[in-house]
Structure 1
């Protein structure tokens, strides 16, 4: 009986969402340092030149882990700079590029060097049949978005669960906004850039969290209200140089305008959109109705 009670509690969607968020929080805190002020930062990482050698995927799947030490060793040995795009969470297809390499000193590659870099880069990126939370900071957000989308499907029609999932997503996004999401740059012993590991930025993560809810929940005022609240919360927790809610705010505004909501619902959404704009400007006005 105790086991059945525990099982029933564990399979409740509220319990699942809490577990997803807790696991995502642990991954974020383990992998991402707190965000430093924008001023005085290290600057943008180097970009590959037009003649950079592309590094093709040799084994398809979802990246589950990246061996940073192996990449750094390979880059130093070949005296090159490596750029890796295949961050955990993306999908890799055999033959398509997952990154690029170019000589640090501008000297052309030898065939042997090129072949070795392709092999070592592929070996340093482990792949699996599915995504995992080990090094994937967006995995929990993806799971919450899936819950939101399923809750808004015609066969389920559960906007309350969608709103709760968006609440958990907002908490994760606000935590991510306080973390360093810039590309991870690895240096050699002489402090020269050797490896650049790209990561999804805050705008990418926000799009992941909102694209499907805005599409499937466009006709549900409660969902759009929670999206507006999410944008306000994220705007308040984002640094002035981030502000990814701006594009999402325009998208929400156009979505709202295309619906024939009751005047009360329309007024509520209009008020929330104004509150998002105020939060973007650094002002928090107390909501009179909530």
Structure 2
């Protein structure tokens, strides 16, 4: 695995974990406690008026105080972890199990958990130092002051944590968080790469040789290091063509890419290419905008289920998806073909198209909303918004196909006459917009 490619996956794994930030904070806390004890031993602050009184406190009282703080911190930590687990359980049942990753990605929760454990670790070090025979008469004035300040800070952190958890499970906040992730994923579709200057050609003859690169293991294609692949293709005078894109499920012997060259490519070069993409056990939104869209769709579909029956959350998801598609309709999506400075094709990736991403956003919601008039009307209004801001043929063709499917399902159900009039009214507006743009 290439270092840069592996770092992207490692960063994503660490970012969505509950252990990394707390561990860093615990290590920092232990080092801070050692530094505080060293300051107390060095008597640096004894003669300072503000700190002088701290070194004349009863040691038994201080030891009891530190023990009390340590016990309180581990209790609060247990409560915080319990609240977090309950929140994850509620999120999984209401919004879907894949949304747990978004809650684990919450830096605020990670810092809160780290704060409590770090303060507990600080107290443990102080208790250990105070129990050592060599430090029986050591006055830990500055260390105790730091411990008390950290304890008061933990109280405010606990208040913040309760407020933060209450906000994090609100449907509108969850939808907006996932929507921001969708926009971030869609922005990467327009990313350009600098065209490198290739070295002298290594062609041996005019015969084109093609070598197949397989996945190597079962799993999802997660990351493609396009910049390094383009650079490698130029260095070795290759054309690399990927037949899969991030998010595709691969078998270990399935073809992922083909390498074209005018000379026999060594196995070492093939291994370098294989190191520049990652196959893992699950999909990630790193380079997979369709996965990010599916998360928002999942919230809407669950909201439309009979057990939840929350059309307002579904409507919110439709609104967010329509705005994201409007952004996509106006964006210049990269074709996936990358060239060197001499205009030679060096890297070809399987690109996303508007119809595929838009269908992923609309199809399931349309299917589950066939008995919900409010959500159906909002879907049609979203199509109206989409066709009004874009004159692209593929956008209009998508809108026409969605309108046809919506009307077909509406006619299959015995809706009230007033409801059908509302649906037909907004459908006619979309058709007028399509006709006006086609003229």
Fold match (TM-score > 0.5): yes
- The answer to whether 1:22 aligns with 2:180 is yes
Matched, 1:237 2:389: yes
Name the residue aligned to 2:431.
277
Q: How does 1:1-290 map to 2 (within 5 A)?
A: 1-32=159-190, 53-103=211-261, 110=264, 112-113=265-266, 115=267, 119-243=271-395, 244-282=398-436
CA shift in 2, pair 1:53/1:119, >3 Å: same
Change (3 A) 1:280 1:60: farther
Q: Structure 2: which 5+ runs fail to align?
A: 1-158, 193-208
Which stretches of structure 1, 4 residues or longer, exceed 4 Å deviation after superposition? 51-54, 115-118
Which position in structure 2 is the counterpart of 1:38? Answer: none
Q: Is the 8 A contact 1:214 1:255 kept in 2?
A: no
Q: Aligned-pair distance for 1:59?
A: 3.2
Q: d(CA) in 2 for partners of 1:150 and 1:96?
A: 34
Instruction: Say which one has the larger Rg.
Output: 2
Preserved contact between residue 185 and residue 292 of structure 2 (Cα < 8 Å): no
Evaluate the alpha carbon distance shift between residue 16 and residue 203 of structure 1 in structure 2; reply closer, same or farther with a 3 A threshold. Answer: same
1:118 deviates by 5.0
Label 1:211 to 1:102 Cα distance change in 2 as closer, same or farther (>3 A): same
Of stretches 83-92 and 73-82 in structure 1, the one that deviates more from structure 2 is 73-82
Contact 1:182/1:201 (<8 A) preserved: no
Q: Distance in 2 between matches of 1:117 and 1:93?
A: 22
- Aligned-residue offset at 1:116: 5.5
**1:101-152 CA distances to partner (integer Å, 9 max, x unpaired)?**
444xxx5x64x45x56654443221233333333233333111111111111
Q: Distance in 2 between matches of 1:121 and 1:237?
A: 41
Residues 10-69 of structure 1 deviation map (CA, whole Å, 9 limit, x = unaligned): 1112101111112322333355269xxxxxxxxxxxxxxxx9654321233333321113
C-alpha distance in 1 between matches for 2:328 and 2:385: 12
Contact 1:159 1:223 in 2 (8 A): yes
Q: Measure how far apart 1:86 and its partner are.
A: 2.8
More helix by share: 2
Distance, in Å, in 1 between the alignment partners of 2:254 and 2:317 is 34
Structure 1 CA distance, aligned partners of 2:355 and 2:223? 23
**Deviations 1:218-245, CA, capped at 9 Å, x for gaps:** 1111121111111111112333333222
Could you say what secondary structure the match of 1:281 adopts? Answer: helix
- CA-CA distance at 1:246 after TM superposition: 2.3
- Structure 1 gap ranges (5+): 35-50, 284-290
